[in-house]
């Protein structure tokens, strides 16, 4: 069994005070184990980042951007291997892994524009012979804690922007699928990144708490479940750190009576079941306005779901793969059981899924549930599996009230041909990312990603312009060079231009 180690100061480190198995979800077998870092190992990574910071901070931003240009090239060159690593430990089909990688690469492309977005501002003669300007300066050592569902894309939301802004970085990826994350870190070294600027440690709560409490770490980025996001944010801010913590989601789609039903069904299939529903932007709830539209959508979904293929990650003909672990499979099935017990109708049941030849894999088949109510556990909580629930309401406002009253506010969408309805929805819905006939409204790299309510703790969203703001702090300098022939007396009132 191969041990997956850490990446500290440019070198692989196998230190582990314990290990944990890493499974292939497609087969249910384990061939690797991951080293779980002790507090001392995490502190070693922080020390490496701290030592590398002064030189990296003073590296011209154009040179930092050139490293990112080379990194982008290496990511594209090694795409097949990266997708293989993602699939073998996460279970997502290789075409889905390729999409994940591409969205990550787009964030690297945006980071390459650092010479432009770090220019700051300059004003001459704001007062007599007085000039003023602002600079965007790096924070120092910053850290990221990333989830299992996007082992490449979410780290690429974080460390390229942090590093190009002049910070050094300690990344703690998910211990469930660490190999692809470690591989892209090694590619960044190959691209010319100095040792110590990026460090990767695999670990659990001990590693997380070390990052949260160590005073050398200036900021924390996190993506994961809401209870952990709240803990990360509360703890980090109590230690005086800057923090952005992205939590869970329960994304609703409103289906209006005038919607194009065939397009609705096609997009719901991909948005609900793609990546086995293990996406914080997955559409897990469809709210149909009127029984007539609900019946039409359910009948068409029922027929199309029967055509979906799921199985081994390497088979490109599959639509989606396994869920991450046996424990998570049991959790997803538990939510389906709960919905049934509370009176919902299981229209398509994926609880007995077992693809031929991969019966030991961690599979849940596509599941469609009708007659769901807001008081049901399966509606209130994030399932994070290939489960689509249908709620029925009488009006658009009733549908919007459901969304607004839910504790999560990550993403939502509306299906309609009515521009007035779409405009009203996008203006008034209490959700951070909104789609109009678009089921997964994930912002492109030049915008920023983040929800509202209990889907985000912190003031700034991930990547894009907010990413640059999060990983820098503004310093404003005001200067004057007085004439040698002028001597001024003391002034005790607030200086003004009057």
Average pLDDT over residues 163-183: 98
Flag whether 15 is in a domain. yes
* pLDDT above 90 (res 490): no
Answer yes or no: are the C-beta atoms of 177 and 86 closer than 8 Å: yes
Average pLDDT over residues 49-58: 98
Q: What span, in angstroms and rounded, lies between the C-alpha atoms of 385 and 21?
A: 22
319 in the same domain as 209 = no
Task: Report the percent of the chain where pLDDT is more than 70.
Answer: 100
The CATH number linked to 120 is 3.40.605.10
273 in the same domain as 209 = no
Q: What span, in angstroms and rounded, lies between the C-alpha atoms of 243 and 237?
A: 7
Q: The whole model's pTM is what?
A: 0.95
Instruction: Note the pLDDT of residue 428.
Output: 98
CA–CA distances in Å: residue 160 to residues 134, 154, 177: 23, 11, 20
* pLDDT above 90 (res 179): yes
Instruction: Note the pLDDT of residue 379.
Output: 97
Flag whether 186 is in a domain. yes
143 in the same domain as 237 = yes
* pLDDT above 80 (res 224): yes
Instruction: Note the pLDDT of residue 423.
Output: 97
184 in the same domain as 277 = no
Q: Which residues contact 337 (CB under 8 A, 6 or more apart)?
A: 351
Confidence label for 154 from pLDDT (cuts 50, 70 and 90): very high
153 in the same domain as 261 = no
What is the tens place of the pLDDT at every residue in 369-390? 999 999 999 999 999 999 999 9
What is the tens place of the pLDDT at every residue in 90-147? 999 999 999 999 999 999 999 999 999 999 899 999 988 899 999 999 999 999 999 9
280 in the same domain as 181 = no
Confidence label for 447 from pLDDT (cuts 50, 70 and 90): very high
355 in the same domain as 371 = yes
Q: Which residues contact 148 (CB under 8 A, 6 or more apart)?
A: 90, 174, 176, 177, 278, 324
Structural domains counted in the chain: 2
336 in the same domain as 243 = no
Flag whether 25 is in a domain. yes
What is the tens place of the pLDDT at every residue in 225-260? 999 999 999 999 999 999 999 999 999 999 999 999
Flag whether 276 is in a domain. yes
102 in the same domain as 73 = yes
* pLDDT above 80 (res 72): yes
Q: Which two tokens stand for residue 96?
A: 């889905």
Instruction: Note the pLDDT of residue 487.
Output: 74
Domain that holds residue 278: 251-436
Flag whether 487 is in a domain. no
CA–CA distances in Å: residue 11 to residues 48, 110, 188, 260, 400: 11, 28, 12, 54, 52
* pLDDT above 90 (res 15): no
256 in the same domain as 241 = no
Report the chain's mean pLDDT, rounded to a whole number: 96
* pLDDT above 80 (res 485): no
402 in the same domain as 362 = yes
Instruction: Note the pLDDT of residue 152.
Output: 98
Flag whether 206 is in a domain. yes
263 in the same domain as 182 = no
Q: Per the residue annotation, which of 112, 165, 243, 280 is the catalytic one? A: 280
What is the tens place of the pLDDT at every residue in 331-380? 999 999 999 999 999 999 999 999 999 999 999 999 999 999 999 999 99
The CATH number linked to 312 is 3.40.309.10
Instruction: Note the pLDDT of residue 95.
Output: 97
Confidence label for 322 from pLDDT (cuts 50, 70 and 90): very high
Instruction: Note the pLDDT of residue 488.
Output: 75
* Residue 13 bears catalytic tag: no
């Amino acid at each position: 069994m191969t041990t997956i180690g850490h990446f500290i100061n440019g070198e692989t480190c196998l230190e582990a005070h314990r290990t944990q198995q890493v499974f292939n979800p497609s087969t249910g077998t384990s061939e690797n184990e991951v080293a779980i870092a002790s507090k001392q190992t995490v502190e070693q990574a922080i020390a490496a980042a701290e030592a590398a910071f002064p030189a990296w901070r003073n590296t011209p931003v154009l040179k930092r951007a050139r490293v990112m240009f080379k990194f982008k090239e290496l990511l594209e060159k090694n795409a097949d291997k990266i997708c293989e690593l993602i699939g073998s430990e996460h279970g997502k089909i290789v075409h889905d892994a390729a999409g994940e990688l591409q969205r990550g690469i787009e964030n690297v492309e945006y980071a390459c524009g650092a010479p432009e977005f770090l220019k700051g501002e300059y004003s001459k003669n704001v007062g007599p012979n007085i000039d003023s300007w602002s600079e965007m300066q790096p924070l120092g050592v910053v850290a990221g804690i990333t989830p299992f569902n996007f082992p490449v894309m979410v780290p690429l939301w974080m460390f390229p922007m942090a590093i190009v802004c002049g910070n050094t970085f300690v990344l703690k990826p998910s211990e469930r699928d660490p190999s692809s994350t470690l591989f892209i870190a090694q590619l960044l070294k190959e691209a010319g990144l100095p040792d110590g600027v990026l460090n990767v440690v695999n670990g659990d709560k001990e590693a997380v708490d070390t990052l949260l409490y160590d005073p050398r770490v200036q900021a924390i980025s996190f993506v994961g479940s809401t209870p952990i996001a709240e803990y990360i944010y509360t703890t980090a801010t109590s230690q005086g750190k800057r923090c952005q913590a992205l939590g869970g989601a329960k994304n609703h789609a409103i289906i209006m009576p005038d919607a194009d039903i065939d397009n609705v069904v096609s997009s719901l299939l991909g948005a609900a079941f793609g990546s086995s529903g293990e996406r914080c932007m997955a559409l897990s709830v469809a709210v149909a306005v009127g029984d007539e539209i609900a019946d039409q959508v359910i009948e068409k979904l029922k027929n199309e779901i029967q055509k979906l293929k799921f199985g081994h990650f390497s088979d490109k003909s599959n639509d989606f793969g396994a869920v991450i672990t046996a424990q998570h499979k049991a959790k997803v099935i538990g939510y389906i059981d709960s919905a049934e017990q509370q009176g919902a109708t299981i229209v398509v049941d994926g609880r007995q899924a077992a693809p031929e030849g991969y019966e030991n894999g961690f599979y849940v088949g596509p599941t469609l549930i009708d007659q769901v109510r807001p008081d049901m556990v399966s509606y209130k909580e994030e399932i994070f599996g290939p489960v689509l629930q249908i709620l029925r309401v009488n009006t658009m406002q009733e549908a919007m009230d459901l969304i607004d009253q839910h504790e999560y506010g990550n993403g939502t969408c509306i299906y309609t041909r009515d521009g007035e309805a779409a405009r009203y929805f996008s203006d008034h819905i209490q959700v951070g990312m909104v789609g109009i006939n678009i089921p997964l409204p994930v912002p492109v790299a030049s915008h920023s990603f983040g929800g509202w309510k209990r889907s985000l703790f912190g003031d700034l969203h991930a990547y894009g312009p907010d990413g640059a703001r999060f990983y820098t702090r503004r310093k404003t300098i005001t200067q004057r060079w007085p004439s040698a022939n002028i001597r001024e007396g003391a002034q005790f009132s607030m200086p003004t231009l009057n």
